[in-house]
Structures are given as C-alpha cells and as structure tokens.
Chain A
Amino acid sequence: MNIKDLLFKLSSLDAVGNITAASDFAYGILSKYTTAEKMDNLTVIGFLDGKNDYTLMLDAHIDQIAMVVTDIDENGFLTVGAAGGIDIRTLPSRSVLVHGKKTVPAVFCATPPHLTSGEESFENISEIKLDTSLGSNAKDIISVGDFVTFSGKCGELQNNLVFGRSFDDRAAVTCLLMLAEKLHGKKLPINVAFVLSDSEELGMRGVRTAAFRVNPSEAIAIDVSFGNGIGISDDECGTLSKGGMIGISPALSKEVSNKLIEVAKENEIPYQLEIMSSKTGTNADMISINREGVKTCTLSIPLRNMHSDTEILSLDDLESVCELLYRYIMAGGVLNA
C-alpha cells in the first residue's frame, strides 16, 4: 500500500455515528493481514497472534468530528449541533455534506455585509444556519439527527506535507494499517491487537469497551497532536517532519515511554517528546485505567490546523511512526523490561 494514497482514501470516507464507510474500508484491509472482527458501531479490532499471553494494544480512533442536524426549517435551512470540537468562527461560507437519505452538499450562511456591525460574537453553533438550497424538499431528504461532515479534499504541499479533513485520526489509522501489512506473516514476540475505536471525539467512549474486550498488558494510543505554527509556542507543539511525539506524563507508563525512546535511538528513527503534566486528552487516559490497569503511552503525529478540514501533516512522520511501532513490537515491547 502507498501511504499517501491510503491516507487520502481514508480521509475521503466518513465514519461517525451510523455512517460506517471509513470503518468498513479499514476492516477490509485489516482482515487481509490480521484476524479481524467488527465490534460495536464503528470499532474494528484486528489480532495478530504471537503465541503467548502478552498482548500489546495499538489504538487509533476511526471516528471524526462532525455536526448533527437539530432543526430543519420550511426554506431548507438547517440548525446543527457540534459532535466534537468545532471552531464555529470558521464555519461561515464553509462547504459541508449532509448525510440524509442521500448525501447532499450545503453551505454555512455568512452574514451579509450590510447586516454586520463588526462586533459579532460567536456564542453558539446553532446561530449559524446551514443552507441546503433544497427549500421545502429538505424535509423529504434530511431528518433531525442526520450527520453533517466537512467536504474538504486532500492535497499536497511542499516537503512531503499534505492537507485534508479527518487526518485526526485517520493519520494514525493509516499508520496502523501500514503496520499490519508489514507485520503480516512475521513471527512476533508478543500478541498485537489493532484497535480502530469509535467515539473518541465524543469523550473517548469507544475505546473503553474495546480495551475491555482486548484486555491488553500494555498499550500505545496513536493520535495527532499540535504541530508548529504562528502564535503557537514551542512548549505546546511538536514540529512537523521531525518524527512521532513520544508522550511523557504522570498518567502514562514511564517504562513504555523509555522503551519507545530506546528503540527509536537504537534504530535511528526520528522522534520528539511530548511532555504533559496530567492526563493526555487521548484514548490513553481510558486504556490505562482499563480493568486492573494497563501500562500505556501515547505516540502522536504532529498536525497543524487540528479539527479543520485542512489539517496538515508530514508523510515522513507517518513513516517514522510506523517504523518505530514495528521495531518496538519486534523488540517485544516492555514484556521483558
């Protein structure tokens, strides 16, 4: 598989609520290389057997930020609620897709200039209406509860950087699928469970049941984290193209953090550190307190413009993350640490 093609394909598909396209596609790939099963809703799990009882769980969430229709008026304008963190200031004039009986394009209203005072305040997403241009027919196609997703396309910038929607967290899904392909047929020192989990954006919900199902000994949550940009200080971001960010936090396992660093150094794989003072805001927070507790770490891909439909990342970082995880597994994780 080509890493860019896979990322772009996963970005083009949706996975939120009852929309399972990205999840179905990932399941198709995962079942080629692992013993795969569909769990609830969107969650997909793939197992590779290392012929022992020590299991490393690798998690990437398959769901994406979205919006949900809460009202439909007579003229085909919709009111929506947020399903995940949406920067409502950036919605005016944005193109989206409404997933009704069929998928239809729509545009968020921008206040016309003669009605703006320049002192606008964005209090609530419900104030910004969505124009379907379907008039009274909107109600035949769209129902309250239908999902709305960004419609942005992927593209390439300089230096192997790419942009697109839902890279949070399809970037990590891409890494795990590439990794599954790479591990396929290899003799493994430990069991590996690939978890593509649901509902991270709604509060790390899907991973709870998935972690219970897998019952891992240790785990790594692969997600995106803030990439460098103007107005973002060095201590709150990683730098694009400098490798995956290994998490260090009171809520994470030092053993796993240290082993990841050791493996990266040994194999000359680029990496950077992400120091957090408490919980991580990723699925790692949930996995680590699964059942009787799991040694857990985060490995993050630096990403600019998080939660927009033009998230930017470096394909080099995806390669680094994939390689680091491969070497880490072949080294047996922290089984014998």
Chain B
Amino acid sequence: MLNLLEKLCLLDGTSGNEDSVREFIIGEIKGHCDYRVDNLGNIICFKNGKKRSDKRLMLDAHMDEVGLIITAVTSDGFLKFDTVGGMDASVLAFKTVKIGDILGVISSKPIHLLSKEEQKKPQKASALYIDIGASSKEEALSLVSLGDTAIIQSDFTLMGENVKAKAIDDRIGCAVLITLLKEKSEYDYTAVFSTQEEIGTRGAKVATFALNPDFALILEATTAADIAGVSDDKSVCNLGKGPAVSFMDRATAYDRSLYNASLNSGLKVQSKRAVAGGNNAGAVHLSREGVRTLAISLPCRYIHSPSCVANVNDMTDMLALTRYMLNGILSGEIK
C-alpha cells in the first residue's frame, strides 16, 4: 500500500482539479468494480460481493488536496495567488510549485531586507508571489492562465517508521479504498472517491444523495499534534498508535455505536481526543434522512502542509480497521 500511496501523493490535484488523481484511480480499480463519474467529478463505485446485505454501506475518500490558484499577473511577469483550501501562509514561502508543467518558486523579500519587527511577524500570503522566470506579463500569460492551479512540490521520503509527503490528506484514504476494492468482498458495497472536500465537502454531498446509504465510513487523515512543545492533552492523536476514530468534530457528532464498535474491535485504534477539524462526514451524515457515519483517520503531523508526516504501520492498521467495520456492518454483527 505504501507504493500505491507514493504514486497517489506525487499526483497533483487541487479541489475542482482532480483529473490526474481520478484518471490514476480509475486505472487501478478498473476490472475490480463497476464505476461511473458524476457531474462533479466523483468516482462512484459499486463493488459486487458474494452476498447482498440488507444494509447499504458507502465508503468515502476524497481525491483533492490543498493548493494555490493563480489570480493575477503583475507587469513584471510575477504571479499572484490565493490558497485553495486551508493553508497557513508560513508553509508557503520559498517552496517550489508546479503549474501544470511549468516550474515556479513562491517568492518573498529576503530576510536581509526585512525590519527586525517584520522578521518576527508571521508571513502574509498576500505578500508572496510566484516567480516562473517570465520577464513580462505577456510572457507569463503565454505560459500560464488565470485560474490555473499550483501545487507545492514535495518528495515522498521515509523517515524512520514515518513517511513525509504532500497530500497524505487524503490520498491515504484513496489508497485504503483502492486496496479494498481490489480485494474479493463478502458483501456488496459502494464507494466514492470524492472531489472538492477541501473547499467545503461538496463532492461527497452529492455522491451520498445519489447512493442513499444507511451507513458511511469516511476514510481520512487528521491532525496529530504529538510533537515537541505540545502537551499530551492537546496532542489530538499520536503517530504509531493506530487509526483515530472520532466521537465528535466541528462538523459531526458521530454514530456512537460505530465509534464503540471500532474501539472494541481488538484492533489497534485510538480516539481522536479533540473536537477539532471536520471532514466529509459533515456532509454525508446529514444526507437525505440521515446516515450513520464514522470517520477512520490516519494520524498526520503538519497536515495541509507540503510535508505531512505519518506512520507507516498506522496505514496498515487503518486498512485492517476499515475492513473489519465494513464486514461487521454489512454482516449485521455491528448494530
């Protein structure tokens, strides 16, 4: 699965621009399930199992990642941008980006030209710009168009038992889902590779309406603050302690039976210990007359930065827990 995750993370796909991720995923799942692509670009999958359960279950992982969008070009040929999805400006400066095939560098005043006061203030995204080496507005616009998206480039690097990469949020969900779809299944189920999560959980909303499930499992990555200088009560979840399941975040109060069932699975799992963040569950659990929903998340440090750090063993534990919940719900063992 690590190999698969590497390929997925190195693909560029901001919200609304998930084409290359979608194309790759379709290549992977073809022949393992039926699928269609809907009006918003979601891949809606139908997995045939040996049996049909009387429960309808939907799995979800989002394909999009946070990034940048080009909003203007200056007379000198520099590009101005906005962020697509939540990105802290402090992670942007001096990073390399790709706008399609064009390389650029997010640029800023060098430290030598800043006042002592400016050196302490957090960087503002509005003071940053992308340099592609163009010498005029005309030249820049012959290479990129307004509305093009830019993605910060970042290697996939092993660090001890952890891996560092961009877009682990939520290519890990995609990797788990692809792996499951490639396996033979006991029961029929549906799965969605969704679009536009980072700009307001929009793809999952319409996909859930279409599939009308009774249950949903949201496969995600969530913030882990188990880092130096943060006390344990604020760490949210820890790398190496298994996938995190949520009782509540800012968008969802999760189904307690599903939450308890996952904690009682006997598998490696931890609680997400904060009412923070939100994900597609917020849109999914409110679909139609309501959907019983659980989020299973990979603990991830520096989420929404180009250097997400996550634990390799947590990934296989996440796959195991997802498989367990999937079969438990569909067999009726998990009520």
Q: Residues on A close to B: CB < 8 A?
A: 73, 75-77, 79, 85-90, 92-95, 104-107, 109-116, 118, 120-123, 127, 129, 131-135, 137, 152-153, 155-161, 163, 226, 228-232, 236, 241, 304-310, 312
- In the complex formed, the residue of B with least CB distance to A163 is B105
Please name all residues of chain B whose beta carbon is closer than 8 Å to the beta carbon of A73 when the two chains form the complex: 228
Q: A106-B159, A129-B227 are in contact. Are A114 and B91 (CB under 8 A)?
A: no
* A131 and B94 contact, CB distance less than 8 A: no
* B160 and A116 contact, CB distance less than 8 A: no
Shortest C-beta distance, A140 to chain B (Å), equals 12
**B132: Cβ under 8 A from any A Cβ:** yes
Closest 7 CB pairs of A and B: A157-B133, A77-B228, A93-B305, A158-B133, A308-B94, A161-B133, A129-B228
Please name all residues of chain A whose beta carbon is closer than 8 Å to the beta carbon of B161 when the two chains form the complex: 133
* A226 and B305 contact, CB distance less than 8 A: no
Compute how far the CA of A73 lies from the CA of B230 in the bound complex, rounded to whole angstroms: 13
Shortest C-beta distance, B152 to chain A (Å), equals 9
Shortest C-beta distance, B159 to chain A (Å), equals 4
Residues in B146-204 with C-beta less than 8 Å from chain A: 154-155, 157, 159-162, 164
Please name all residues of chain B whose beta carbon is closer than 8 Å to the beta carbon of A230 when the two chains form the complex: 74, 76, 78, 107, 127, 129
* A132 and B160 contact, CB distance less than 8 A: yes
**B131: Cβ under 8 A from any A Cβ:** yes
User: How many positions in chain B have a CB within 8 Å of any CB in the partner chain?
Assistant: 67
Other-chain residue from B102, B122, B276 in contact with A89 (beta carbon distance below 8 A): B122
Compute how far the CA of A155 lies from the CA of B154 in the bound complex, rounded to whole angstroms: 13
* A89 and B93 contact, CB distance less than 8 A: yes
Q: A120-B122, A236-B113 are in contact. Are A114 and B309 (CB under 8 A)?
A: no
Please name all residues of chain B whose beta carbon is closer than 8 Å to the beta carbon of A159 when the two chains form the complex: 133-135, 139
Other-chain residue from A107, A113, A155, A231 in contact with B103 (beta carbon distance below 8 A): A155
Shortest C-beta distance, A115 to chain B (Å), equals 6
* B121 and A89 contact, CB distance less than 8 A: yes
22 residue pairs from A and B, CB less than 8 Å apart? A76-B160, A89-B121, A89-B122, A90-B94, A92-B302, A93-B307, A95-B155, A107-B301, A107-B309, A109-B229, A110-B305, A113-B304, A114-B276, A129-B229, A133-B239, A134-B159, A137-B160, A155-B96, A157-B105, A158-B134, A305-B110, A307-B111
Q: Which of B109, B276, B301 has the most C-beta atoms of chain A within 10 angstroms of its own C-beta?
A: B109
Shortest C-beta distance, B247 to chain A (Å), equals 16
* A307 and B302 contact, CB distance less than 8 A: no
Interface string of B109-136 (1 = CB under 8 A from A): 1111110000111110001010111110
Compute how far the CA of A123 lies from the CA of B119 in the bound complex, rounded to whole angstroms: 8
Compute how far the CA of A137 lies from the CA of B29 in the bound complex, rounded to whole angstroms: 40
Compute how far the CA of A271 lies from the CA of B2 in the bound complex, rounded to whole angstroms: 52
Shortest C-beta distance, A156 to chain B (Å), equals 7
* A92 and B91 contact, CB distance less than 8 A: yes
11 new A-B contacts at CB < 8 Å, known A132-B160, A310-B96: A107-B301, A112-B303, A114-B225, A114-B276, A114-B277, A133-B162, A160-B133, A230-B107, A232-B109, A241-B135, A305-B107
**B234: Cβ under 8 A from any A Cβ:** yes
Shortest C-beta distance, B94 to chain A (Å), equals 4
Compute how far the CA of A87 lies from the CA of B111 in the bound complex, rounded to whole angstroms: 6
Count of CB-CB pairs between chains A and B under 8 Å: 208
Q: A112-B223, A132-B160 are in contact. Are A226 and B96 (CB under 8 A)?
A: no
Please name all residues of chain B whose beta carbon is closer than 8 Å to the beta carbon of A158 when the two chains form the complex: 102, 132-135, 139, 143
Shortest C-beta distance, B148 to chain A (Å), equals 15
* B119 and A122 contact, CB distance less than 8 A: yes
DSSP majority for the A interface?
A: loop
* B162 and A312 contact, CB distance less than 8 A: no
Q: A131-B301, A236-B113 are in contact. Are A304 and B223 (CB under 8 A)?
A: no
Please name all residues of chain B whose beta carbon is closer than 8 Å to the beta carbon of A111 when the two chains form the complex: 88
Shortest C-beta distance, B130 to chain A (Å), equals 10
Residues in B224-249 with C-beta less than 8 Å from chain A: 224-225, 227-230, 234, 236, 239
* B157 and A105 contact, CB distance less than 8 A: yes
**B287: Cβ under 8 A from any A Cβ:** no
- In the complex formed, the residue of A with least CB distance to B77 is A158
Other-chain residue from B112, B133, B230, B234 in contact with A85 (beta carbon distance below 8 A): B112
Compute how far the CA of A133 lies from the CA of B162 in the bound complex, rounded to whole angstroms: 6
* A113 and B105 contact, CB distance less than 8 A: no
**B95: Cβ under 8 A from any A Cβ:** yes
Shortest C-beta distance, B24 to chain A (Å), equals 24
- In the complex formed, the residue of B with least CB distance to A129 is B228
Shortest C-beta distance, A107 to chain B (Å), equals 4
* A112 and B236 contact, CB distance less than 8 A: yes
* A107 and B112 contact, CB distance less than 8 A: no
Shortest C-beta distance, A192 to chain B (Å), equals 30
Q: A89-B121, A107-B307, A241-B135 are in contact. Are A135 and B90 (CB under 8 A)?
A: no
